[in-house]
Amino acid sequence: MSKRARLLVVLIVLVAGGIFLYPTFNWYYMVPQDQKDLAAGSKEQIQSYSRGKASRDLTELKSLVSKDQNSAVPEKFSFLIDKAKENYKLEKTQMPKNWTIAEVLNSLGSEKSVFGSLENHYRQHLLDLKESSGKILQLGLDLSGGMSILLEADIESLEKRLGHPATPEDQNQAIDRAMEILNNRIDKFGVTEPQIRRQGSSQIAIEIPGAADPERVNTFLMGKGSLNFHIVDQEASQKLATFMDEHPGEVYAEDGSIKKMDFLDAGSVIRGYYKKDEYGIDQLQRYVVVSEEIGLDGGHIQEAVVANHPVTGKPVINFTLDSEGGDIFFKLTTANEGKTLAVLLDNKVKSMAVINEPIRERVQMSGFDREEATNLALILRTAALPVDLKINNQQAVGASLGEDSVKQGLRAITLGFLLVIVFMLVYYLGSGFIADIALMLNLVFILAILSAFNLTLTLTSIAGIILTVGMAVDANVIIFERIKEEYRLGKSAEASIAAGFKKAFWTIVDANITTFIAALVLTQMASGPIQGFANTLAVGIVSSMFTALFVARLLFDFSTEQLKAKKLSIAWRI
């Protein structure tokens, strides 16, 4: 590979590393704490915050206008100017030269649309933050705490499934199995290093690192059984709609739930049809009547993948049923050809489709947003929970390590790293400088890859990284010692470098691959500290091989070819 091509590769890797590290850097160093707290809140909380903030801003803007029509737009509302510019572009009219407040508000239209622009701005900001918080290097439970959730097993649901009263042994088995499945699932949802413990006889205590966002937990607990297919009674649905229009006062019970309607058949129930709004909150569209009997249980789903609908581009879930499920579904769709089938998740109607022809195995469902579709597909792929779990209590918990010991640990780790850097510089002089650049890049790459995979950083894994860096020194040492040997034999600087790298290549590759194999096998562990450690190690090995064999070589070649260095600066005494 030519030097230019190699330089290009290094630059591309560097840029990619920067892109992956940026959200993490931004989150920990740029975003103020109150914004982080807001973004960690539920979607409902974000909604009420955005609306509140927008209405306060609107009042402020109105008072500003009433004071002085021509005052400049304050800095914090500058985003409104962009919005106004967009509107002008759409209407293709001449833009004003000076953006006064009155001008901006006018161009935005009615008060309602100004409010909309404001709300949209805050909502988007927080939702973006929320999304980016899922893409960063998470700090582990030991360093920054997280959320603790206490789950209670619903023994009734277990007995229902077993068909007889649960003995303590049944209970034990069910909870052990549930813990295993949770461990698996949490891992699949990209949360690393959770702590899952059994508590008392029928409870499971989970601690996960990161923000205390209640919505995150709900997805782990979704049961396969919560997804079901029902046949829609179109006629009754129509009747219900007419009745609701005519007698709006007689629809709801005192607690806000919908009343049981007399005119409905015994075997049918009313369910809400929901769609997600801009916040991702389920909004009720209307009510439909579906048969109470489950047409097909989601437990029969064997394989589920998320794809895009070829026409609408919206996410759909393609799934395959097991053979028993296929038979049931075929019978169901044959008997109900021409009728509508509803997909219900946790008793909410998510989508409806007319059955055009009998279907046996492969089915497609729509009506989910991407996040929901991905989560659902994950749940459908993992095993079903043997017992329903209810959230008993959830709260934020602080770091399990003392602030002092975290600080001390971090200081020690930095010091250790600096010592290695200085040692290399003192022992290998100019070549040590090259090794140091390679080491620092190595550190950046490791952190970038860990952020890209949204892995969790615990104090142990930080120490592990430093150790990987320490071991990455080894690759440099092997190369340098080889170069020295060649140089002592009287070869030129260039030839010694070439021979040194060549001879060291397989040594380094063999030594690293053996460790890499071990690391790779251990990443197959169920989620936990060992897996986290193995991930870090595997990433570290790849990155240190790249920096030692590729980056350092490039730097050496640069020093001999571009800087015309005739002598090697690699030891005090050759």
Partner 1 sequence: MRGMIKFTKIRYLMFLISILVIVGGIVGTIRNGGYNLGIDFEAGLNQRVQIAPVAFTVDFTGVGDASMDMQNGVISVDIRSDKGVSNYSFPLADYPTLSDLKNGLIAIPGFGMSLLVPDNSLSGKLTSGLNFPLEVTVDPSFVNIIGEESASVAIDKIRAALAPLGNPQVQVVGNPVLSEFMVRVSDPDGTKKDELEVSIVKNLESVFGNNTVVVLQSDYVGPRFSSSLASQSISLTLTALVLVLIYIWFRFKLGFAVSAITALFHDVLIMLGFIGAFRMEVSTTTIAAVLTIIGYSLNDTIVVFDRIRENQVLLKGDRLDNIINISITQSLSRTIITSLTTLLAVLALYFFGSGSIKDFALNLIVGIVVGTYSSIFIASPILLGWSNAARKRKVNKTGAITGSTGLKLVEEKEDSENITRRTSIPEVERKRKGKRRNKK
Give CA–CA dist 504/439, Å, rounded: 18
Phi-psi region of 382 (alpha: psi -120 to 50; beta: other; left: phi over 0): beta
Give CA–CA dist 465/446, Å, rounded: 8
Minimum distance from CB of 42 to partner 1 (Å)?
Answer: 16
Is the Cβ of residue 180 or residue 278 nearer to partner 1 in the bound state?
Answer: 180
Judged by DSSP in three states, 207 sits in: strand
Contact between 320 and 381 under an 8 Å Cβ cutoff? The reply is: no
Minimum distance from CB of 176 to partner 1 (Å)?
Answer: 7
- 257-273 residues labelled b (16+ CB within 10 A) or e (exposed): eeeebeebeeebbbbbb
Give CA–CA dist 265/290, Å, rounded: 10
Q: Which residues contact 258 (CB under 8 A, 6 or more apart)?
A: 251, 252, 270, 272, 287
Is the Cβ of residue 322 or residue 485 nearer to partner 1 in the bound state?
Answer: 485
Largest CA distance in the chain: 101
Minimum distance from CB of 131 to partner 1 (Å)?
Answer: 26
Minimum distance from CB of 402 to partner 1 (Å)?
Answer: 6
Minimum distance from CB of 62 to partner 1 (Å)?
Answer: 36
Is the Cβ of residue 8 or residue 426 nearer to partner 1 in the bound state?
Answer: 426
Is the Cβ of residue 220 or residue 428 nearer to partner 1 in the bound state?
Answer: 428
Is the Cβ of residue 373 or residue 385 nearer to partner 1 in the bound state?
Answer: 385
Report in angstroms the alpha-carbon separations of 366 from 236, 290, 313, 479: 24, 18, 11, 57
Give CA–CA dist 134/145, Å, rounded: 16
Is the Cβ of residue 212 or residue 378 nearer to partner 1 in the bound state?
Answer: 212
Contact between 273 and 288 under an 8 Å Cβ cutoff? The reply is: yes
Residues in the chain: 574
Give CA–CA dist 574/564, Å, rounded: 20
Is the Cβ of residue 88 or residue 423 nearer to partner 1 in the bound state?
Answer: 423
Is the Cβ of residue 196 or residue 373 nearer to partner 1 in the bound state?
Answer: 196
Is the Cβ of residue 375 or residue 527 nearer to partner 1 in the bound state?
Answer: 527
Minimum distance from CB of 492 to partner 1 (Å)?
Answer: 14
- 385-408 residues labelled b (16+ CB within 10 A) or e (exposed): bbbbbeeeeeeebebbbeeeebee
Give CA–CA dist 320/274, Å, rounded: 25
Minimum distance from CB of 517 to partner 1 (Å)?
Answer: 5
Distance between the two ends of the chain, CA-based, in angstroms?
A: 31
Contact between 126 and 39 under an 8 Å Cβ cutoff? The reply is: yes
Minimum distance from CB of 40 to partner 1 (Å)?
Answer: 14
| Token code pair at residue 76 | 């914090």
DSSP state of 259: P
Is the Cβ of residue 54 or residue 552 nearer to partner 1 in the bound state?
Answer: 552
Minimum distance from CB of 378 to partner 1 (Å)?
Answer: 21
Minimum distance from CB of 96 to partner 1 (Å)?
Answer: 49
